[in-house]
Chain A
Amino acid sequence: MIMAANAAPLAGASRGTGAPPVFVARGLTKSYGSGDATVYALRDLDLEIQQGEFVVLLGPSGSGKSTLLNILGGLDVPSAGRAAWRDHELTGVDEAALTAYRRDHVGFVFQFYNLIPSLTARENVELVAEIARSPMPPEEALALVGLSHRLDHFPAQLSGGEQQRVAVARAIVKRPDALLCDEPTGALDVETGKLVLSAIARANREVGATTIIITHNAAIAGMADRVLRMGGGRIVSIERNPHRLAPEDLVW
């Protein structure tokens, strides 16, 4: 049943362009412990994601969302199976290869922002621009998230929503191929959360980054191309939105 649910949408995963998927995962398994005490975060999961697609991963805690995102982002490695981004293998390679992959292709947004407190908004963004191959000017990235007026503020001088938007700017300044967001609104209230989602949607649109957002908030699903629901380490259902909602139209 599960396999069927997993397998069925694969054929129709593409948005009809016929282009090959950018993310491919086959038989991904992540387990901790051994013997009877083995805990599975992911079980034999298959997945394909297309270029530029906006995917929302929904599911309760422990369903494997973060583990999946971490593996696709090159932050973690599976116990079994393989994952690849275009021609970059993300499994069976060393830390240096994963670091290069993250640096050149991936933008991350974390639930707790993870900004450097001793650097201003502009400097936090510049920190990534310094190691990127063809970054946009940090000011432009901050303008994209609506923070042109807060360039020289330190994180402690920014609200939570503003800090998260700095984190979004930091993620997109390198013009990433993939934008991976782990509960970006988890620590924010509704209105602030919408501002952050708008920034992410705009980045997806204007930078063309394939975007994956993890959330436990089903309301966010409306802005996705595809919604993957996870449970017990597997994808239990896949929905395709005929029309993506603008973040400001979301209701939760």
Chain B
Amino acid sequence: MRMLDRKLLRDLWSLRCQVMTIAMLIGAGVAVLVMSVSSFLALRGAQLAFYAESHFAEITAEVKRAPRPLLARIAELPGVATVEGRVSGDVRVDWPGAEVPVAGRILSLSGSGDQPALNRLRLLAGHLPEPTRQNEAVMHAAFAEAWGVRPGDGIALILNGRREAFRIIGIAHSPEFVFTSRQGSPLPDDRGFVVLWANEEGVARAFDMQGAFNEVSLTLAPGASEAAVTAELDRLLLPWGGRGAYGRRDQPSHRFLEDELAEQRILAVTVPVVFFGIAAFLLNIVLGRMVEAQREQIAALKALGYPAFPVAAHYAKFVAVICLLGSLLGVTAGAWMGAGMLNNYRPFFRFPEMPYLLPVWLPLLAAATSFAVALLGVYVALRRILWMPTAEALRPARQTTFGGRSLGLLGSRLGAARKIPLRGLLGRPLRTCFTVFGIAMALPMVVLGLFWWDAMDRMVDLQFDRIERGDAFVSLTDPRHARAVRELARLPGVLAAEGQRIVPVRLRAAQQSRLLALTGLPSNAELRVPRDADFRPVPIPQDGIALSRRLAETLGVREGDIVQVEMLEGARHVQDLPVAALVEDVIGFAALMEIGALNRLMREDDLVSHVALRIDPLEAGALWQHLAERPRVAATNVKAVWLRAFNEVIAGLVLTSAVTLTGFGIIIAVGVVYNSARVALQERGWEMASLRVLGFTRQEVARLRVLGFTRQEVARILLAELAVAVFLAVPIGLLLAQWILGLILGARDNESFDVPAVISSGTFAAAALVVLGAAFASAVLVRRRIDRCDLVAALKARD
């Protein structure tokens, strides 16, 4: 079939612009697939490797103070494989150069100089503390990198109110702190939060924990039940002030990583499905029309004695070449974007190694998928022609009747030349729908890229302007009487202070349970204002508990239902409470009560554990200094600093996604508009050619052109049809965007962040402009082609 192959090469070359635009469309789908799957695999691979290497604990429990010998009893529990106890505590860090107080957490190492049995450190530099040295510490890599700390540097810690100097002798990664943040914060704060490991003797002394532990980690024996071991562990720890054992699901670093992996997994499926859907749809139209345009050639091949198979194979090769081209583009771009995505992850997730890997099967899968999808598009058109009796296929395709439309009153007002585009659109309604829908699909891509800015604005607005109205948030070392609030309020620079009581709790409803922080707020709170879905303040319930809407959905409860609240502090009372209100939140899960009611539940005095502050920005520097000197202040979180970090981290991610998806939107818009115009041009060529069938000579057709159908006229008619389609497509595309966004965000399963499906009018306008611009550019390309080519010459042969 040498001649058919030669035809293939010539067809590909003569349709090179169409071939390229379709290849890019396939490339976009392949790129998204390769990018999201490969970055997911790299992240998962790094996680599994690091967890295995470092013996990451499966169950962790915090306890107020338990004697060391209890560890042996824990080890004997059925289902427990390895147990490790340690002392941990929050510290303040006197770090010169930090504009806001640096908080930290110190964890004890056995003191033998060996790695712990569980949660082993991966040292990047230096070594573990020598057995006898109590003032040596290993520092987590995140803070070390942020500040350029090296082994040998010093650090001053305020441990339980006492200042102690440490020497950093090692820099390490830890499976417990792959994602490192202050408690409850969904963003890394590498410059403001540090994790340190030091020998047990010194740490225990600082926290009065000699011969005791306040944190226990364990791994499970094969086949052991996590729930059963957790329950047993809770039972053993309860007399010693156990705060509830939890599995990896509730381990902050792990949960955040799993949330991201879950999100990636969903993106790895939904976005390529959307893309391949669009690509399949467009390939169906474009290649289908291409085959339709070659209908008489195909019929002639059949009439000349070519069996159906080589003819079908010829078109399959055509598709294969386009797909191969698209896949090459897509795999290259996808691998590049995947590696970029992984780099975006690096500030969030600290692994000793996170190599970018492109498994061989992935490009093959992507190429095969694109080929299958494209082949489907061609198959439908080809089958119709191959199965059609040859005699019928040989006849020119039946002319459309244009629905016999008179165009009504509108028609009588329009000139003949203006009726042509209108009839062109109305006469082939299905095809017009396809074209309009195809162009419309470009908009969701651009919107998906740009909406993140809207979503982030909305998240910041809701969480930090409307809900968290304070400027700083102080954690106390232990719950204090409410008088502490008044003391802080008197500090210079403090405009208002409000106490909060935050208690770790386990919420249960039916089969669901969650570990989280229950916050008690004064009923007239102004620095923390719960809001409903319409942003209206929600009064803090005097009886019962207010839950965030997302938490209520996770627990499967509604307003008025009962949830069981197990206090994981103090006497660990368990109480059933009605869900009194639902509130909106963006970050984490909120559970709120009136502070007095919470104090009563805890059977305690008027205690507060945290204080929200509104401050005078001019006196902020001095205030941080004051706070740093107060022994009962464990940590101070500053909203402005947090917001700056948020913007820095998120802005990069959002920009990457915006640029990528906008590029894809342009590829779709150009792909559809350009190909529609080219196909229309071919078809108009046929219509002109049919004049010759009616008996017009070539010269007469040429004269006809002189009589009115100038090149410009033909161009105007063609492009007018497309312009109408584009303007119809924009509003449809915007509706589609809203729908697809809802679909993708609805498929998210992320407890750390709630991304609202908000699209601003600015985003809509920008998306519409991008698509209109792409359409206009394609029209210019086609127009130039019309201007260049001699229509009459083109009519002699149908191409």
Interface residues, chain A, with chain B CB atoms under 8 Å away: 66-67, 70, 73, 75-77, 95-96, 99-100, 102-104, 106, 108, 110, 112, 114-119, 123, 126-128, 130-132, 154-156, 158, 160, 163, 170, 187, 189
Verify A116–B297 contact, CB threshold 8 A: yes
Give me 19 other A-B pairs in contact (C-beta within 8 A), A108-B304, A115-B797, A127-B7 excluded.
A73-B303, A75-B394, A77-B389, A99-B308, A103-B305, A110-B303, A112-B296, A112-B693, A114-B296, A114-B297, A114-B303, A116-B301, A123-B3, A127-B4, A128-B305, A131-B304, A132-B305, A154-B797, A187-B693
Chain B: interface residue total (CB-CB under 8 A)? 37
Verify A130–B799 contact, CB threshold 8 A: no
9 nearest A-B pairs in the assembled complex, by CB-CB distance: A103-B305, A114-B300, A118-B10, A117-B797, A70-B391, A127-B3, A76-B391, A156-B797, A102-B305
Enumerate 11 A-B pairs (CB-CB under 8 Å) in ascending A order: A77-B389, A99-B306, A102-B304, A103-B304, A114-B297, A118-B10, A119-B6, A126-B3, A155-B796, A156-B793, A156-B797
In the complex, A209 Cα to B698 Cα: how many Å? 32
A112 to chain B, nearest CB (A): 7
CB neighbours (8 Å) of B697 from chain A are 189
B188 to chain A, nearest CB (A): 59
A150 to chain B, nearest CB (A): 14
CB neighbours (8 Å) of B300 from chain A are 108, 110, 114-116
B689 nearest in chain A by CB position: A112
Contact status of A119 and B303, CB under 8 A, knowing A112-B396, A114-B394, A154-B797: no
Interface SS of B by simple majority? helix
Count how many pairs of residues, one from A and one from B, have CB atoms less than 8 Å apart in the complex.
Answer: 103
Q: Which of B330-381 contact A (CB under 8 A)?
A: none
In the complex, A108 Cα to B390 Cα: how many Å? 12
CB neighbours (8 Å) of A110 from chain B are 300, 303, 394
In the complex, A189 Cα to B698 Cα: how many Å? 10
B299 nearest in chain A by CB position: A114
B396 nearest in chain A by CB position: A112
CB neighbours (8 Å) of A100 from chain B are 305
In the complex, A130 Cα to B5 Cα: how many Å? 12
Verify A119–B3 contact, CB threshold 8 A: yes
B307, CB-defined interface residue at 8 Å: yes
B704 to chain A, nearest CB (A): 16
Most A CB within 10 A of own CB, among B2, B7, B11, B796: B796
Verify B303–A75 contact, CB threshold 8 A: yes
Most A CB within 10 A of own CB, among B299, B306, B693: B306
In the complex, A96 Cα to B305 Cα: how many Å? 10
CB neighbours (8 Å) of A155 from chain B are 796-797
In the complex, A189 Cα to B296 Cα: how many Å? 23
In the complex, A118 Cα to B4 Cα: how many Å? 10
Verify A106–B6 contact, CB threshold 8 A: no
CB neighbours (8 Å) of A119 from chain B are 3, 6-7, 10
B798, CB-defined interface residue at 8 Å: yes
Contact status of A75 and B798, CB under 8 A, knowing A96-B307, A110-B300: no
Verify A118–B7 contact, CB threshold 8 A: yes
B480, CB-defined interface residue at 8 Å: no
B296 nearest in chain A by CB position: A114
In the complex, A245 Cα to B769 Cα: how many Å? 70
